[in-house]
């Protein structure tokens, strides 16, 4: 019978990414609830020295797949190795982050393992030893609780930033095991030929702890500097509504919403954004939502923890000044 | 260059979603059905490649008869032919089953590239494209904002934004690409386009036409089961920040964010 909770670590250039700690921590909680072991699969090239740390976050075992062909991530290589390891070890639950990489990987694994898959979940539970996943659907207009049938492992991805990272416990250690796998060159059909780094040093919206977003109410691209100033001060990333993006004021990569990024920061400040359902779809799992809008009937106020009914061009600069008192 | 675009019909994003009395589905009475917005990017990109390289664009949709309408929209935009996979036994199928049926239909066609959306804006799953590529044994590149096919039509180079960087990925063809906003601006169907679409071939196929056994499909074949649908969790009622002037409101907000919400 299928046994054990597995999570897949995510690395970039030899460093473990934060989403890994989120799913390892969540994996630990689920493993405890199910009375099972937690295995983290770590794939990469010369990556073994990163394995021990995963033990501090609750891994009982780290299965290391070390191969030059496993860095940087390609769907082909990862799917080949993970499929082989899963088939050989028969885990009961497979948890992956719903990062860009995780979404790509999990969707393909669903095909290669012939299993059901719950994408971008916001919560998990164990009931009668089985995984129950909660996920927003229809852009968050409804939530679905899902389980699996005749489908092992039970596979799901977790929306980034929602799973609490456990305090690392250095007294815990994991058994570190070299995975045995065959990775045939012939499966590698795609190749990363170039990595274009975002030189701005700005934290990606999906990873940001704080976001200050501007919509059509910003009136033009030149006015975003007032958001940048506030954002720089509080360590936030600037986002935008689709109207602002479609107007050409901000790049596509800044768009939050149903056809943009799904974000869950600790603080989301919506400035001059009406709160259309498609925008809410991208940010309603934020912890604290602030809305600054001069129209008191704007739908965004129904989602906001703190609403400020005023002209943003007065409030935002004043807020920047006020915030300085607390920093 | 022959290109396939998979097309899912979804409720218009403005649609109010109500959970049905069985708690497992939604009320579809007032739903306005449209082409998944990400599939519009797929159709547009396919048409641009066709304009450059020649060849044919085939749109494949799976679902009830109403999906014909969205396929016609794609034909009106300029696609050459449509295939509708429709069978009562498909009702309630999960992503994996949909991928299996699509792959079976696509296998019979000649293609260099397949486009699917990065996710459907209904179930927000984003599984069908990759699962389909796996079943067809071709590479996939997901969440793509730029597509460049080499002059010889044998390889493709795509751009994929991941957190904080853009990856340029190269692949042999045939391959499957899932679309992301930013890829292009989809065209509207022109009036002559709409007229022409009426005469374009639209073939309908059942599971048995595809040589598939109905047993693995529909509600009974689901590997991911829906236990319950609920309305979204309620957020605690928010506060309207008080103050006579914008300055006072800003001061009060900063205080609340620091003392109460503890986020600054
Ligand atoms: C298929 C589809 C997908 C979509 N996907 C997305 C998506 O991913 N993300 C997204 O954001 N939208 C999306 N939309 C668009 C969405 O429906 C809205 O049109 C959009 O979110 C509106 O942007 P906005 O709030 O900036 O603009 P508006 O709705 O025009 O709101 C501007 C707001 O600014 C306020 N304002 C103006 N001036 C000031 C001022 N000086 N001070 C304070 N407040 C001011 C106004 O009161 C108003 O509430 C999508 C739509 C469709 C059909
Ligand atoms: N029933 C379907 N018919 C045709 N294409 C589909 C269907 N379901 C999903 N797809 C394709 O897969 C993409 C992702 O859908 P999903 O995996 O359901 O989120 C869609 O944008 C379509 O391109």
In a domain, A78, yes or no: yes
Whether residues A152 and A261 share a domain: the answer is no
pTM, entire model: 0.96
Whether residues A87 and A135 share a domain: the answer is yes
Q: What is the pLDDT of residues A157-204, one digit of tens each?
A: 999 999 999 999 999 999 999 999 999 999 999 999 999 998 888 899
Q: Residue whose CA is closest, atom 9 of ligand 1? A: A257
Domains of chain B: 3-221 (3.40.50.620), 233-264 (no CATH)
Q: Which of residues 119-158 of B touch A (CB under 8 A)?
A: 119, 121-127, 129-135, 138-143, 145, 157
State which residue of chain A sits closest to B244, comparing Cα positions.
A310
Please compute the mean of the pLDDT values over residues B57-61 and round it to a whole number.
98
What integer pLDDT is reported at residue B96 of this predicted model?
95
* Top-ranked range on mean pLDDT: pick from B24-28, B198-202, B230-234: B198-202
Whether residues A182 and A56 share a domain: the answer is yes
In a domain, A198, yes or no: no
Q: pLDDT band at B91, cuts 50/70/90?
A: very high
Please compute the mean of the pLDDT values over residues A107-117 and round it to a whole number.
97
Q: Does the beta carbon of B226 lie under 8 angstroms from any beta carbon of chain A?
A: yes
In a domain, A200, yes or no: no
Tell me, what's the ipTM?
0.95
Q: Which of B163, B227, B240 sits opposite A207 (nearest CB)?
A: B163
What integer pLDDT is reported at residue A172 of this predicted model?
95
Whether residues A156 and A258 share a domain: the answer is no
In a domain, A53, yes or no: yes
With an 8 Å Cβ cutoff, are B238 and A255 in contact? no
Q: What is the pLDDT of residues A227-250, one digit of tens each?
A: 999 999 999 999 999 999 999 999
For residue A17, give its domain range.
5-187
What integer pLDDT is reported at residue A283 of this predicted model?
97
Q: pLDDT band at B236, cuts 50/70/90?
A: confident
We report the CATH number of the domain holding residue A89 as 3.40.50.620
For chain A, the domain total comes to: 2
In a domain, A195, yes or no: no
3-state secondary structure chain B: CCEEEEECEEECCCCCCCECCCCCCECCCCCCEEECHHHHHHHHHHHHHHHHHCCCEEEEEECCCCHHHHHHHHHHHCCCEEEEECCHHHCCCCHHHHHHHHHHHHHCCCCCEEEEECCCCCCCCCCHHHHHHHHHCCCEEEEECEEEECCCCCEEEEEEEECCEEEEEEEECCEEEEECCCCCCCCCCCHHHHHHHCCCCEEEECCCCCCCCHHHCCHHHCCEEEEEEECCCCCCCCEECCCCCHHHHHHHHHHHHHHHCCCC
Q: Please check the confidence at residue B102 and state whether its pLDDT lies above 90.
A: yes
Q: Does the beta carbon of B16 lie under 8 angstroms from any beta carbon of chain A?
A: yes
Mean pLDDT over all residues of chain B? 96
What integer pLDDT is reported at residue B46 of this predicted model?
98
Q: pLDDT band at B234, cuts 50/70/90?
A: confident
Is B43 in a helix, a strand, or coil?
helix
Whether residues A164 and A303 share a domain: the answer is no
In a domain, A32, yes or no: yes
Whether residues A314 and A219 share a domain: the answer is yes
Q: pLDDT band at B235, cuts 50/70/90?
A: confident
With an 8 Å Cβ cutoff, are B167 and A192 in contact? yes
Please compute the mean of the pLDDT values over residues A130-148 and round it to a whole number.
96
- Inter-residue contact A218 to A269 (CB < 8 Å): no
Q: What is the pLDDT of residues B106-119, one digit of tens each?
A: 999 999 999 999 99
């Amino acid at each position: 019978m299928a046994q054990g909770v597995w999570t897949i670590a995510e690395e970039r250039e030899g460093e473990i990414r934060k989403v890994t700690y989120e799913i390892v921590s969540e994996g630990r909680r689920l493993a405890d609830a199910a009375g099972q072991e937690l295995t983290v699969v770590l794939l990469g090239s010369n990556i073994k020295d990163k394995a021990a740390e995963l033990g501090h976050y609750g891994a009982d075992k780290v299965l290391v797949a070390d191969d030059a062909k496993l860095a940087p991530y390609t769907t082909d290589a990862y799917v080949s190795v993970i499929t082989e390891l899963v088939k050989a070890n028969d885990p009961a639950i497979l948890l992956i982050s719903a990062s860009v990489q995780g979404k790509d990987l999990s969707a393909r694994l669903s095909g290669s393992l012939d299993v059901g898959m719950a994408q971008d979940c916001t919560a998990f539970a164990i009931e009668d030893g089985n995984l129950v996943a909660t996920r927003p659907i229809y852009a968050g207009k409804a939530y679905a609780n899902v389980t699996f049938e005749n489908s092992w492992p039970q596979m799901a991805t977790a929306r980034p930033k929602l799973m609490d990272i456990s305090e690392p416990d250095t007294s815990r250690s994991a058994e570190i095991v070299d995975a045995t796998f065959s990775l045939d060159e012939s499966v590698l059909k795609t190749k990363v030929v170039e990595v274009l780094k975002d030189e701005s040093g700005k934290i990606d919206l999906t990873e940001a702890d704080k976001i200050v977003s501007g919509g059509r109410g910003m009136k033009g691209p030149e006015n975003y500097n007032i958001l940048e100033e506030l954002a720089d001060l509080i360590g936030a990333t600037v986002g935008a509504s689709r109207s602002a993006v479609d107007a050409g004021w901000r790049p596509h990569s800044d768009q939050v919403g149903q056809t943009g990024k799904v974000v869950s920061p600790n603080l989301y400040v919506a400035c001059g954004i009406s709160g259309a359902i498609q925008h809410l779809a991208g940010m309603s799992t934020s912890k604290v939502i602030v809305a600054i809008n001069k129209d008191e009937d704007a739908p965004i106020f129904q989602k906001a923890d703190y609403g400020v009914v005023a002209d943003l061009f007065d409030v935002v600069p004043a807020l920047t000044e006020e915030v300085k008192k607390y920093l | 260059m022959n290109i396939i675009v998979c097309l899912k019909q979804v409720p218009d994003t403005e649609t109010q979603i109500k959970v049905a009395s069985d708690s497992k589905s939604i009320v579809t009475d007032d739903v306005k059905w449209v082409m998944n917005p990400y599939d519009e990017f797929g159709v547009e990109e396919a048409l641009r490649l066709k304009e450059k390289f020649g060849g044919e664009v085939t749109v494949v949709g799976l679902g009830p008869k109403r999906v014909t309408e969205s396929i016609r929209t794609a034909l009106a935009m300029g696609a050459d032919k449509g295939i509708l996979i429709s069978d009562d036994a498909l009702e309630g199928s999960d992503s994996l089953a949909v991928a299996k049926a699509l792959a079976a239909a696509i296998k019979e066609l000649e293609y260099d590239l397949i486009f699917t959306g990065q996710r459907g804006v209904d179930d927000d799953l984003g599984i069908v494209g990759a699962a389909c590529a796996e079943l067809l044994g071709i590479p996939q590149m997901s969440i793509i904002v730029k597509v460049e096919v080499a002059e010889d039509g044998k390889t493709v180079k795509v751009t994929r934004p991941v957190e904080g960087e853009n990856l340029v990925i190269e692949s042999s063809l045939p391959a499957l690409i899932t679309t992301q906003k930013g890829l292009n601006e989809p065209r509207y169907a022109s009036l002559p386009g709409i007229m022409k679409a009426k005469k374009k071939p639209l073939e309908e196929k059942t599971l048995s036409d595809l040589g598939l056994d109905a047993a693995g499909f529909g509600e009974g074949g689901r590997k991911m089961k829906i236990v319950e649908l609920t309305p979204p969790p309620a957020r605690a009622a928010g506060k309207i920040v008080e103050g006579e002037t914008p300055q006072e409101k800003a001061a009060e907000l900063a205080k609340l964010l620091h003392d109460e919400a503890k986020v600054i």
